A and B are shown apart, each in its own frame.
Chain A
Amino acid sequence: MSSKEKLTCYHCGLEMSENETVWFDDKPFCCNGCKTVYEILNQNKLTQYYKINEAPGIKTEQIDQHIKQKYAYLDEPDIEKKLLEFEDGPVKIVNFYIPNIHCSSCIWVLENLDKINPYITHSEVNFPTKNVRITYQGDHLTLRQIVEILASIAYPPLISLDDVEKDKKKNNKKLLYQLAIAGFAFGNIMLMSLPEYIQQQGFWIEKFAPLFRWLMFALSLPVVFYAAQDYFESALKGLRQKIVNVDILIALGISVLFLRSTYEIFTGTGPGYFDSLTGLVFFLLLGKYFQRITYDYLSFERDYKSYFPIAVTKIINGQEKITQIKDLKAGDRFLIRNEEIIPVDGILMKNKALIDYSFVTGESMPVEKEVGDKVLAGGKQKGGYIEIEAIADVDNSYLTKLWSREAFKDDKQQTIKTLTDKISQYFTFVILSIAIIVGLYWALTDHWSTAIWVVTAVLIVACPCALALSAPFAFGNILRRFGYHQFYLKNARVVENMSQIDSLVFDKTGTLTKQDKYKLTYQGEPLSSVDKAVFKTMVKASNHPLSRLIYQHLAQAGQENLSSLKEIPGKGIEAVFNGAIYKLGSADFTNNKTDNKSTEVYLSKNNQKIGKFIFTANYRPGLSDLFNKLSKKYTLYVLSGDNANEKQILEKILPEGVTFKFNQSVHDKMNFIRDLQKAGHHVMMIGDGLNDAGALQQADVGVALSDDTNVFTPSSDAILQGNKLIQLPVFLEISKQTKKIIYVSFLIAFLYNIIGLGFAVTNHLTPIVAAILMPISSISIVIFVTIMTNIISNKLKNSKLDN
């Protein structure tokens, strides 16, 4: 087994070298964090955790250090109350979102929390949503203690502003109820309408027909008034906005079916069309259900609130007090510790800050800030604690204002007409004309009552069941197939919008480049093995992301005992070894000159320059191939918030005809897309950071690229796994073909309609004809569409093999 050659951490499975291994209980660990988790689990006899899956843990560093202060705000009764799901005397229930949940070991250990603390009475994991619901005895255990237990075994819950501000998510169970009722009524009504189809006259029928008819009528009531409710509402909405949508036709069809059938029952003239009516509603709801695919663990609607903390430590006259973010006002002074997020815009008042804006900009290199500098909400402090004076409250900070702009909340889908709606516009017109012409003909040649009979028959048969079903099933199926290939769409309409795209706009940082993987090159005098070892030891203790990269780069080197080592935040690291002063850090710190073109770390020994590490962005593999494929069909743009340093590299990688724009601010990106749209283009934006959030919302299709779907993604129409970016041409192609399939299915639907109309205009539409024709057309359309979309999405498999 390979693990014999290389040591891997017993907890998290990280590979490591012999000398940095921490041994405990005869088991190797990569760091003290992992060891501590093992210790806790071992003490509580929970080591079964390691038996279910090998090395199931997540690497955790220095859990103990900030755990103590980090969750102090949970002791505030106000906050606790908002987080609790249920409270009855001492019994309390809380529901946490824990992003680290990833395997069956996680489920096991989290459901055995009572072994760690007996006052936890019950805990239950919901794996798809990564939630755990904990019931505990509030008089023996505080919420904070529970969170600290979870954090100590490396399952820290994510508690954000969202949890206290937004209403608890309502579960959409209504559709399931509607479907159940429609299905129940459909089944029973089918049985009851059968006798009259078989036998028209006779003692038996005359005796029982009334009973069956009235039962059918009773059963259809909840279908019309509850199950079909949404169609009436949507039709009304469409009428108010003066848009003819497909739901108007459906609502019209259902009403006519119901009214005519009821009339027939009351007058005793016939059995009515209750089986067609309930069948129609049932199939329509089934299509709706099929289309509704939810990716429980993904969220397309996240804004800054999903990752902002609930509270910070405010400083009032030198006293620390925990305050909720929403109570923070301009002028307040507050404390931000290592790894905490700055919730409001402010001025740095104390200590140097190293702020990681990767959530905001996608750029993972932290920015240094001095006392007096302005810091923006959304940044994460790396290093020691800092003090900040707020200059705005949370809703009025520069970026939060942008993210929560009301304009974004408009459902842009509402304004774009769907394919089905467009077709049904003409369809409605044609059907109404036919109904009027035919009605007039019968009224003139026969009797007006026959005319009404024929007109209602036309409207019944024209009810566009097949029309309304083909798009949901086609798009729903594509949605599902894309999901298998890590391209998660918000809803079915995104497929439709994708099929119209003609321009693609890419963000550079984090989208074309990998998020945090920088290529590191060394330039300067060759380093001796001793020097290498010294520098490696120097960066080992540092938390700075550049230090970590250098540490990885020098992983092969040995270790030395340094006689002194100090890290100067924002500058670099200084150490003494064998009497020589080693420095590593920024240019002025190491007595170097810089041209500031790229991210660099300088090395010096006794103030003599040795060399430097240069960090260059690491582009995703297969980029030039991707752009070559795309440039044949689409206009391509690359927008970047950075300066034009990398333009030459990009021009080399990407084909001609790609337009570059550098130094683009958050607003520039959004406006750029808006201008394209005004020129009549349909734009897809592919971005990642929150700085793209505006552009993603503005675009016809906004795709958030993510290397790890657990982490934050800005609100968007779709989320694409980073390594699947090269598949983008295939996804676009499939969406185009799906549209064609839907057109063909519409043609088939019209064919059925012509046959049905043939019966209707000649006054031959008996209930049995309707009962046969309508399900057959619906089912055949659904089968056709499902088979065809499966065939075209097989391309995804083939192109996977190519790569």
Chain B
Amino acid sequence: MIALYLTIFISLIIALIFLVLFMKSVKAGQYEDTYTPSVRMIFEDEFTDDPDEDLPSEKDKN
């Protein structure tokens, strides 16, 4: 039954680690702008020297 002491403390420490991680992410500003990253992600590899060769535009689809 002594193992119980160990498991309780381990579970508490794991929970504490998550708490600290969450607070760190708040501090780093991850919850300040929840919209722009979703748009930015789409653009990340879209920059080419010749934009005409890129993805089809709205016009081409119509």
Contacts and interface: CB of A to CB of B under 8 A. Distances in A.
24 contacts: A45-B49, A47-B51, A48-B46, A48-B47, A104-B42, A104-B43, A111-B40, A111-B43, A112-B47, A124-B36, A126-B33, A127-B33, A127-B39, A128-B33, A129-B33, A177-B23, A177-B26, A180-B23, A184-B19, A187-B15, A188-B15, A208-B4, A211-B8, A215-B8
B55 A51 contact: yes
Contacts of B4: 208
B1 A207 contact: yes
Contact of A184 (B8, B15, B35, B59): B15
Interface of B: 1, 4-5, 8, 12, 15-16, 19, 22-23, 26-27, 29, 31-36, 39-40, 42-43, 46-51, 54-55, 57-59, 62
Contacts of B50: 45
B15 A211 contact: no
B12 A51 contact: no
Nearest to A54: B58
Contact of B1 (A128, A181, A204): A204
A73 B32 CA distance: 31
B57 A51 contact: yes
Interface string A5-46: 000000000000000000000000000000000000000010
A107 interface: yes
Contact of A188 (B12, B29, B47): B12
A173 B33 contact: no
Contacts of A47: 51
B32 A171 contact: yes
Interface of A: 1, 45, 47-48, 50-54, 104, 107-108, 111-112, 124-129, 171, 173, 176-177, 180-181, 184, 187-188, 204, 207-208, 211, 215
A177 B46 CA distance: 37
Contacts of B33: 126-129
Contacts of A45: 49-51
B36 to A, nearest CB: 4
A176 B26 contact: yes
Contact of A127 (B19, B35, B62): B35
Given A176-B26, A187-B15, A211-B8, A54 B59 contact: yes
B36 A126 contact: yes
Contacts of B27: 173
A645 B12 CA distance: 75
A1 B34 CA distance: 36
Contacts of A129: 33
Contact of B31 (A50, A54, A176): A176
A209 to B, nearest CB: 12
Nearest to A204: B1
B43 A181 contact: no
Contacts of B48: 48
Contacts of B59: 54
B37 to A, nearest CB: 9
Contacts of A53: 58
A173 B31 CA distance: 9
B19 A180 contact: yes
Contacts of B23: 177, 180
B54 A48 contact: yes
A47 B39 CA distance: 18
Contact of A48 (B1, B29, B32, B51): B51
Given A126-B32, A127-B36, 12 more contacts: A1-B62, A45-B51, A51-B54, A107-B36, A107-B39, A108-B43, A112-B47, A181-B19, A184-B15, A204-B1, A207-B1, A215-B8
Ranked 9 nearest A-B pairs via Cβ: A48-B51, A127-B36, A126-B33, A51-B57, A184-B19, A104-B39, A47-B51, A127-B35, A176-B26
Contacts of A180: 19, 22-23, 26
A728 to B, nearest CB: 30
A111 B33 CA distance: 15
Nearest to B43: A108
Nearest to B51: A48
Nearest to A212: B8
B14 to A, nearest CB: 11
A107 B12 contact: no
Nearest to A3: B59
Contacts of B55: 51
B23 to A, nearest CB: 6
Nearest to B57: A51
A204 B19 CA distance: 30
Task: Point out which of A48, A111, A177 has the most chain B C-beta atoms below 10 A from its C-beta.
Answer: A48
B5 A211 contact: yes
Nearest to A46: B51
Contacts of A107: 36, 39-40, 43
A125 B29 CA distance: 13
Contacts of A176: 26, 31
Contacts of B62: 1
B33 to A, nearest CB: 4
A45 B15 CA distance: 50
